[in-house]
Amino acid sequence: IGQTKVMAERADANSLGIADGTMLIGDSVALRANTALQTALPGAQINAQVSVTTKTANEIMLNNSQNKFLPKTVVIATGVNNPENYKDDWDSIVKNLPKGHHMILVTPYEGDKTKETYAIVEKAAAYMRELAEKTPY
């Protein structure tokens, strides 16, 4: 069944004119890991910048989609910067993922428990895991 699903997704993506490939949209953590990411994901487009929020990642994804430049697999690696509206931000990303695309969410980690945003980042990561369970992307 898994192989049938993969073949159906591939046919759907091809019929929609979606190019194979991977785009990672991330924050400063992804930026610092750029070399390792390029090794792990050869040929992937890495769009990583300092202070990228999930809302900004959504805008980048939409812009690439509107310009017909969004590859089939989209990796979103944000969540620590301005996580206060995490539910709305993640719901928007899931809603705005164009048909035929596949999304991978990288959960954020705030290692400094003394930071104000620590609890919110943990809630955001838990919410992302919930989205992954209930959303077929």
Domain of residue 103, CATH code: 3.40.50.1110
Who has greater pLDDT, 12 or 88?
Answer: 88
pLDDT at 56: 97
Instruction: Report the domain count for the chain.
Output: 1
DSSP output for 2-67? HHHHHHHHHHHHHHTTPPP-EEEEE-HHHHHTHHHHHHHSTT-EEEE-TT--HHHHHHHHHHHHHT
**DSSP 8-class letter at 118:** H
- Give the residue numbers spanning the domain of 93: 2-134
Q: How confident is the model at residue 88 (pLDDT cuts 50, 70, 90)?
A: very high
Q: How confident is the model at residue 7 (pLDDT cuts 50, 70, 90)?
A: very low
The whole-number average pLDDT for the span 99-104 is 94
Indicate whether 12 pLDDT > 60. no
